[in-house]
């Protein structure tokens, strides 16, 4: 009976130790030019073909938790800024801080032509307007 108790206790102890070995990546994301925090930036890692991630809060802070120790590529992405990737190595349980400075990126726009003509209800002159979307 004592051997059975020791065996069960040993298995429980080993499973408990293995279950607790997770790590966390956290940090801040800021604008490279102004130093202001960036809200709602997508921060993610690719794990075996799937994604695990978070979004920054209003202070630019993010946390990705429950990661097993190993090497990760942490990506930061938001519209209007260039996506950045950092290599992070997580050792045993604990936290790793990883901050990002994102530089703005212009997106090519398209011209849109809008043309009006004389209608039934008024004397609107024919016009041509070009709008540049950035």
Q: How would you write the chain as a 3-class SS string?
A: CHHHHHHHHHHHHHHHHHHCCCEEEEEEEEECCCCCECCCCEEEEEECCEEEEEECCCCCEEEEEEECCEEEEEEEECCCECCEEEEEEECCCEEEECCEEECECCCCCCEEEEEECCCCCCCCCCEEEEEECC
Structure confidence at residue 124 (pLDDT): 53
Report phi then psi at 17, rounded to 5: -65, -45
Structure confidence at residue 3 (pLDDT): 67
Q: What is the pLDDT of residues 88-128, one digit of tens each?
A: 999 877 889 999 999 998 777 777 777 766 666 655 555 55
Domains of the chain: 2-102 (2.60.40.10)
Q: What is the pLDDT of residues 43-98, one digit of tens each?
A: 999 888 889 999 999 999 999 999 998 899 999 999 999 999 999 999 877 889 99
CB 62 within 8 A of CB 26: yes
| Cα separation, 105 vs 80, whole angstroms | 5
Q: How confident is the model at residue 12 (pLDDT cuts 50, 70, 90)?
A: low
Structure confidence at residue 33 (pLDDT): 94
């Amino acid at each position: 009976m004592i051997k059975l108790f020791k065996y069960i206790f040993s298995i429980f102890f080993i499973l408990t130790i293995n279950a607790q070995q997770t790590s966390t990546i956290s940090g801040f994301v800021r604008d490279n030019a102004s130093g202001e925090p960036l809200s709602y930036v997508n921060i993610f890692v690719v794990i075996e073909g799937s994604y695990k991630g978070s979004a920054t809060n209003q202070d630019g802070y993010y946390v990705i938790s429950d990661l097993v120790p190993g090497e990760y590529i942490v990506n930061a992405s938001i519209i209007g800024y260039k996506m950045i990737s950092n290599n992070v190595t997580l050792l045993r349980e604990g936290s790793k801080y990883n901050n990002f400075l994102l530089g703005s990126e212009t997106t090519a726009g398209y011209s849109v032509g809008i043309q009006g003509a004389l209608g039934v209800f008024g004397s609107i002159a024919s016009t041509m307007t070009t709008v540049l979307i950035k």
